[in-house]
Chains A and B, each alone.
Chain A
Amino acid sequence: MQEKKYFTRMGDGSIVHMTEAEIREDMKAGMEDAVLRGKVEPLTDEEFEHLYNIITMPGTIVGVEPGMQIVTTSDSGSDKINTKCGIPVDRAVNAMIHERILGCDSVDIGYSDYNYKTVKGVAKREATILKHALNRTTMPLFYGAMPNLGFYTKPDGPVDNWAVLLPEGKIKESLAAQEEAVEHAVRDIVYVAEQMYDVGADGINLDTSGAAGDADFLVSLKATEAIKERFPDLNVEIGMAGEFVLGMHGKLKYDDVRLAGLYPHKQVKLAEKAGASIFGPVVNTNCNMTFPWNIARVCTFIKACTAVAEIPVHANTGMGVCGVPMCENLPADIVSRVDKALVEICKIDGL
């Protein structure tokens, strides 16, 4: 008799069928990769078995026990219906759809060009849309965008492009350009935050932090600190771009901790220090590996993060992160398994 094979997927979403032995082997390899890279503890035997059961349990959609549900935040949430589905809806209406039809616990209003540098020029108009939404919705509303430090480079921005300077061997100039860009970005974010606070935003979402490396992550930390100092009632969520902070600069520090190379369990401590209310860790999905490999790796990293976190952790579970496949139309079989594993094994506080 042929050995039983289970339906699962690759990191790019394509279907694959695997035996129990193959699944366990991939899970072990994924977990060991996280232990090696992050210098974190492996899953316990009990957690490993529980994860195996989640991966192989029957049903297209799986879930948690009643009462174990958790809350959600988003990035560019109120613009997804427009930009991803091509349905032209006012963003204030979009927020109501998220509240009353989709049952979201919160949503963020964000510009379609989702970055603070672009928003700065239209911040008051953006605040008007947020105000409309705040008047008509009950749930918490954020204003969200990315720090996106790359946008501050010439020819579109004010500073020299470090990605051009580095290959030319102009190391000092490259470091100086990044440091200058940090100051511009922090100023822009705080300016936008001020407009949003003025209309009553519940929070500011600094999404995809660290996308341009350690200087980009530093922007989020410094901006959070500045926002909390000026507007103590305005809460901040920091969501990450990748699982570790890329050392484009390499020497930048926050609270005397070098930012380059930090993994989620170290990132969260700096987010706390800066004053963030919620931290959104990311673990990259590897398209060439299986879901069992990816999710075991994810759980190892995220468990280490929640174990040390003193603020709520909302794991990022969009396309291509935390075990969710890298494809436009996401398969609910994998997404629901990711969510269940993150809740039950990693003890996350939200998604």
Chain B
Amino acid sequence: MGGVRTAGDLVLRMQLSHKMKINEAKKYVAEKLNVTLEELCDVVTMSEVREELGLGLGHVEPCAEANIGMEAKFRIAELLGIKINSVERFKERAGMK
């Protein structure tokens, strides 16, 4: 799907955590992001959506808003309503939980 260029990483997370088939996973993520299925797979639309929501991008220009890696995964877990193991470990080891 293009991973962080679109929403492939998010769709795959729903397959992994909830064993959703592809159409169900895409629909779930599209609804959370308020985009169409066509837009969900579109690099131009999704770059804007991801930048706005801080969900991580393929390009990382040096600016304060450019989330990537752990900080993006914190937001993804919240947006999708799922547990991300690395986020949970980070919280535990940073004394956040």
Contacts and interface: CB of A to CB of B under 8 A. Distances in A.
Main secondary structure of the interface of A (DSSP, over half): loop
A177 B85 CA distance: 37
Given A200-B87, A200-B88, A277-B16, A105 B2 contact: yes
Contacts of B36: 67
A201 B17 CA distance: 12
Contacts of A150: none
A100 B12 contact: no
A105 B3 contact: yes
A351 B87 CA distance: 26
Contacts of A309: 21
Contacts of B58: 99-101, 103
Contacts of A233: 83, 85, 88
B8 A72 contact: yes
Interface string A161-193: 000000000000000000000000000000000
Interface in A54-75: 66-73
A115 interface: no
Contacts of A106: 3, 9, 12
Given A135-B70, A138-B9, A200-B89, A310 B3 contact: no
A199 B86 contact: yes
Nearest to A101: B58
Q: State the majority secondary structure of interface residues on B.
A: helix
A137 B72 CA distance: 9
B41 A67 contact: yes
A66 B38 contact: yes
B9 A100 contact: no
A260 B56 CA distance: 45
Contacts of B90: 135, 200
Interface string A105-130: 11000000000000000000000000
Contact of A140 (B13, B25, B55, B72): B13
A140 B55 CA distance: 13
Interface of B: 1-6, 8-9, 11-13, 15-17, 19-22, 25, 36-38, 40-42, 55-56, 58-60, 68-70, 72-73, 76, 83-90
Interface of A: 66-73, 98-106, 134-141, 197-203, 233-235, 277-278, 309-312, 348-350
Given A99-B58, A105-B9, A277-B15, 14 more contacts: A100-B59, A101-B58, A103-B58, A106-B12, A136-B69, A137-B68, A138-B76, A140-B12, A140-B16, A202-B16, A202-B85, A233-B85, A277-B19, A349-B25
